[in-house]
Amino acid sequence: MKQSIRSKQELTKALLQLMDEKNFSKITVKDIAEQALLDRRTFYRHYKSKEEIISRYCDDLCESYIKRLEKEPVIDMRKIVQLYFSFWYEHQPFVSCLVKNKLQLFILKMYDKYLPEIRTLYSGETFSFESMKIQKYALAFNLGGLFNALIVWVENDFRETPEEMEEVMMAAFKTMFVPHH
């Protein structure tokens, strides 16, 4: 493995370890470099800030999530919800760390950035919109709902399984979007 890649991995790992121990705002570049057994120059050769480490790690996670979506023959709302909660369940320590440090907006920014790419994977009538404007707002609405459900799930220490979250969300969608008489 190239030294450059190894250094980036070590710096990321060091920051995540430090975030388990203390608040993100109190962590310095010096702390990260020392934890990674590297010098500050190496840090600045790869990153401008500690926030950039989180941002790039989120990008890597999103690319991994997209690869998982791409393997599915049909993507409907149930499949999206299922994969979404299974994926974050696998990454509990990271997402918990972000929420604990009030950095969950990195996740929202990540999905916002990758939403156009994710949108191309959707199939079926579930995702048929009469205009691009409606599509943009509908996807933002769905993303916001899933994001907020994720945060509540994290704050509840992942009490429900990903499968239970899938059922909860599908019941919520059904209740929200079916007219009541």
Q: Please spell the DSSP secondary structure of 109-146, one letter per residue.
A: HHHHHHHHHHHTT--SGGG--SSHHHHHHHHHHHHHHH
Global pTM reads 0.84
Model confidence pLDDT, tens digit, residues 80-115: 899 999 999 999 999 999 999 999 999 888 877 877
Rounded distance between C-alpha atoms, residue 102 and residue 149, angstroms: 16
Model confidence pLDDT, tens digit, residues 45-59: 999 999 999 999 999
